[in-house]
Structure 1
Amino acid sequence: MSKWFGTDPTFYPSPRSAMDAPSEKLAYVALFDPDAIGVVDLDPDSDTCGKVIYRLDMPHGSEDELHHFGWNACSSALCPTAFHPQLERRYLIVPGIRSSRIYILDTKPDPTRPHIVRTIEPEDVKQRTGYSRLHTVHCGPEGIFVSALGEADGKGGPGGILMLDHFNFNVLGAWEMDRGPQTFAYDFWWHIAHDVTMTSGWATPDLFEDGLKLDALLQKKYGHSIHFFDSRTRRHIQEIDLGDQHQMVLEIRPAHNPRKTYGFASVVIDVTNLASSIWAWYQEDGKWKARKVIEIPAVPTDPALLPPVLKDVGAVPPLVTDMVLSLDDRFLYVSCWGTGELLQYDVSDPFNAKLVDKVKVGGIANPVVHPSGKPMTGGVQMVELSRDGKRAYFTNSLYKAWDDQFYPEGIQGAMVKVNIHPEGGMEIDKDFFVEFGGGIRAHQIRLDGGDCSTDTFCYP
């Protein structure tokens, strides 16, 4: 790793300074089946805007199944508790959720052509951490954090968090000292100024790797809790059980302002009514609590229009699978992969969320075509938001085995842009529709210079 002198200009001390920074010019997109990283031009002044300008194919075909990935360093490098201004936002940490292999991609000297500089093999990850099935990547002051959904044998749990060294990317080991009752893993983030880490839980590999297990879902065997850890001692503090009817707690989105101690967690499905929900956690009298602040109902649908997995229920569940919070903590964007909707909520008051607008494209039943006139398979899935909050981008694939259940006619990887009005309101950009081609599927998006689900800020 080369030495960096001075502070990376894409490190921002506060959310406001990040919002005032230059706009994104590139998107890096995780592709799979086969595995690759696509580079998409986002510069409106470029002749190739809205096009794939480079594709880095991974060396193991479809073995890895690229899913989530992230930067090696971000604005957390400016935190006074672990100041590392010599780091730079240069390397993409790209794990395979199925293989547990990790690729280190260098975006220099040419950010449009990232290249692999190191591969960490699954055996190294499993031996040093006891974990497998890697998922979320976050850059923190102490190192690079990666969540893992299962134990080393790839069958059950517990899952947890592992760490990589900031400077040489060596696998350091499992993060937790005492996990308490936590078994399921998925997403995680922190209230960094308050030394609190939050984690969510989807499922162990035996419950998700070959597709959704309907019997297990009805028996309420998926994750339904948020866990809180002391970030310094790495010990479990508290569990909030949302109720076992609320199955699959996925995304964790804390307020960006480091003075605030609330955030949002998404739940995929309520088995009693097929609704998705958003919960706000908060601190009161020294304890962590959570309250449902948004419920999104299922849509009754003619069974003839439904895939086999849904015919017996006669409805399309929203299937909330991602969300992103604007850097000013004002708007929450929620993706409904089942119904094909992106919802915008005003969460200025986090306990009184108000629906502002929604756009729709794709979806399981009666799919809506893109405004360009081109059809989009799948639904609104991984969503990312520009730092200034004026543009959102989303892709349409969840996970291969689940794609095949809910969209059995197939998903063709695509990326869509949404233009956002300053005071709320959205519209899909009719001139921006990226098709990755060849049956390849698209998942997480990362923006050059950081985005709204990348950075941690230590100054308000």
Structure 2
Amino acid sequence: MPLFTPDPTFYPSPRDATAAPSEKLAYVAAFARPADRPDALVVLDVDDASPSYGQVVGWTDMPNLGDELHHFGWNACSSALCPSAAHPHVERRYLLVPGLRSSRIHVLDVKEDPSSPKLVKVLEAEELGKRAGYSRPHTVHCGTDGIYVSALGGYGGDGPGGVAVLDHTTFEVRGPWEKDRGDQYLAYDFWWHITRDVMVTSEWGTPSMIEDGLRPELLLANKYGHRLHFWDLRRRRNVQTVDLGEQYQMALELRPAHDPTKEYGFLGVVVSTQDLSASVWLWHRDGTEFAVRKVIDIPAEPADAADLPPALQPFGAVPPLVTDIDLSVDDRFLYVSAWGTGELLQYDVSDPFQPRQTGSVRLGGIVARRAHPAAPDLALAGGPQMVEVSRDGRRVYVSNSLYGAWDDQFYPDGVGAWVARLDVDPAAGGMTADPRFFPHGDDFRGLRVHQIRLQGGDASSDSYCFP
């Protein structure tokens, strides 16, 4: 009988993951805003001892036009080591890369040549639609019993959005995850407290609410998502919904504690319609239910209307626009991207109820256009948007595009394309931009860049079942 050993990039606990070898490559989703050429999965060299450090070393085009690659994830990860895992001997081998506009899901194999991902399968929109009832796949997480994919839209209609489940091995769509969604209609992110059988989901909007850009009439009427949903993961039932308050528009990224003995996590909210501030919220177990409270406020910054895009001129201020957050694997530092003001903020959340700011780096911004130290004369558009943290917590990677139509509203003269690496002081906190790492502009051949994944896993890839 053959002896099976788990994939060496699977780790039983967060502590094991933080001691793992450093990543050598990063995968970046890149898309053509005009849809006049294929989107691509771009590979960056992130080994700082390599002669090609900070350069594009791999490129895989998609076979069609107009996908708008956005978020993506692994087929399998450390959750495969959980006692309840149905497939403990799968490999972290494939990246599932959805097209947010096309509703296709691309499967790319990185095992044979990690710097040259090989496209091995494309799931067309009809398969996701007919088998799960969804469209516009967004977030991918590797679960114990399959691959989970959130979707913003319904099939043949605007909603509801939800979560589909794919087979670990064949990548076939099994069907919708939910058995009882209650009144949940809007969808966005999802993640879980896997050892407690708890799923958490958040809300953005349906395809008609987002695909042509931010719709001011919907924002000012507080129609975008502002609720959190808590689910029985095993029974697939919505058991609790918490409304943050309708002014807290676009409750997006979810980052649960990596420690499987803890039941808390953080949620980023894009904007308050009362004062254009952004915020971060904490959910935590309170008796038999979950409680949610705001723990970080980030105010808007005053600006001359003449320096603002038309969408913001009536307000005379730049909203922070918190569009991503990420939690280090040791649950110590929370990173918050303020895409509007062009700032990445770092908070010590050792006490999750009392975050303490420990660092800030400014790049780009709607008004500021702050340069990178590698190109001090280059005014940057966009800002830190997608955030990814290495397993050991010493490196943070950021990219600058949010979503094609939204880029165009807030950066109407062009958002460009760039990726930066920030080095972290693991003892006291604080960050500095690495002057040697700044792929940008022509490096990406005219494509914009969105989510980043790190070879072997990162802070937002894996779930752990052992403390």
Separation of aligned partners in 2, 1:159 and 1:83: 26
- SS of residue matched to 1:145: strand
1:234-267: CA deviation from partner (whole Å, max 9, x where unpaired): 0110001000000000000000000000000110
- SS of residue matched to 1:369: coil
Match of 1:11 in 2: 10
Match of 2:267 in 1: 265
Aligned residue type for 2:445: G
Which of residues 205, 208, 233 is equivalent to 1:206?
208
- SS of residue matched to 1:202: coil
Which is further off, 433-442 or 201-210?
433-442
Q: 1:159 to 1:4 in 2, by over 3 A?
A: farther
Q: Which consecutive unaligned segments of at least 5 residues does structure 1 have?
A: none
Contact 1:226 / 1:240 at 8 angstroms: preserved in 2?
yes
Q: Tell me, yes or no, if structure 1 residue 91 matches structure 2 residue 94.
A: yes
Separation of aligned partners in 1, 2:166 and 2:84: 19
Match of 1:315 in 2: 317
Residue 5 of structure 1: CA displacement?
Answer: 4.2
Match of 2:395 in 1: 391
Match of 2:452 in 1: 445
Q: Tell me, yes or no, if structure 1 residue 434 matches structure 2 residue 433.
A: no
Q: Tell me, yes or no, if structure 1 residue 32 matches structure 2 residue 31.
A: yes
Residue 44 of structure 1: CA displacement?
Answer: 1.2
Separation of aligned partners in 2, 1:432 and 1:116: 28
Q: Tell me, yes or no, if structure 1 residue 242 matches structure 2 residue 244.
A: yes
Q: How many residues align?
A: 456
Separation of aligned partners in 1, 2:211 and 2:450: 16
Which of residues 112, 119, 126 is equivalent to 1:109?
112
Separation of aligned partners in 2, 1:375 and 1:39: 25
Match of 1:43 in 2: 47
Separation of aligned partners in 2, 1:294 and 1:108: 41
- SS of residue matched to 1:356: strand
Contact 2:277 / 2:319 at 8 angstroms: preserved in 1?
yes
Residue 18 of structure 1: CA displacement?
Answer: 0.3
Separation of aligned partners in 2, 1:450 and 1:366: 33
Separation of aligned partners in 1, 2:211 and 2:88: 39
Contact 2:202 / 2:228 at 8 angstroms: preserved in 1?
yes
Aligned residue type for 1:7: P
Residue 54 of structure 1: CA displacement?
Answer: 1.2
Give aligned-pair identity as a percent.
58
Aligned residue type for 2:400: N
Separation of aligned partners in 2, 1:289 and 1:240: 8
Aligned residue type for 1:107: V
Separation of aligned partners in 2, 1:434 and 1:229: 40
Contact 2:77 / 2:461 at 8 angstroms: preserved in 1?
yes
Match of 1:75 in 2: 78
Contact 1:8 / 1:85 at 8 angstroms: preserved in 2?
no
Mapping 1:214-233, distance limit 5 Å: 214-233=216-235
Match of 2:404 in 1: 400
Aligned residue type for 1:431: R
Separation of aligned partners in 2, 1:198 and 1:85: 24
Contact 2:278 / 2:322 at 8 angstroms: preserved in 1?
yes
Contact 1:225 / 1:241 at 8 angstroms: preserved in 2?
yes
Q: How large is the RMSD of aligned CA atoms in angstroms?
A: 1.1
Q: Tell me, yes or no, if structure 1 residue 302 matches structure 2 residue 304.
A: yes
Separation of aligned partners in 1, 2:192 and 2:81: 16
Separation of aligned partners in 2, 1:285 and 1:134: 34
Match of 1:365 in 2: 367
Q: 1:4 to 1:71 in 2, by over 3 A?
A: farther
Contact 1:30 / 1:442 at 8 angstroms: preserved in 2?
yes
Separation of aligned partners in 1, 2:111 and 2:21: 19
Residue 313 of structure 1: CA displacement?
Answer: 0.5
Match of 1:333 in 2: 335
Q: Tell me, yes or no, if structure 1 residue 419 matches structure 2 residue 418.
A: no
Which of residues 279, 282, 285 is equivalent to 2:284?
282
Separation of aligned partners in 1, 2:73 and 2:4: 22
1:293-340: CA deviation from partner (whole Å, max 9, x where unpaired): 000000010001000010001100000000100111110000011011
Separation of aligned partners in 1, 2:287 and 2:232: 17
- SS of residue matched to 1:322: strand
Aligned residue type for 1:113: S
Mapping 1:339-378, distance limit 5 Å: 339-372=341-374, 373=376, 374-378=378-382
Mapping 1:144-163, distance limit 5 Å: 144-153=147-156, 155-163=157-165
Separation of aligned partners in 1, 2:444 and 2:176: 38
Aligned residue type for 1:86: H
Aligned residue type for 2:102: S
Separation of aligned partners in 2, 1:214 and 1:281: 29
Aligned residue type for 1:447: L
Contact 1:322 / 1:382 at 8 angstroms: preserved in 2?
yes
Residue 83 of structure 1: CA displacement?
Answer: 5.0
- SS of residue matched to 1:419: strand
Aligned residue type for 1:440: L
Match of 2:35 in 1: none
Could you state the TM-score of these two structures normalised by the residue count of structure 1?
0.98
Residue 85 of structure 1: CA displacement?
Answer: 2.6
Q: Which consecutive unaligned segments of at least 5 residues does structure 2 have?
A: 33-37
Q: Tell me, yes or no, if structure 1 residue 126 matches structure 2 residue 129.
A: yes
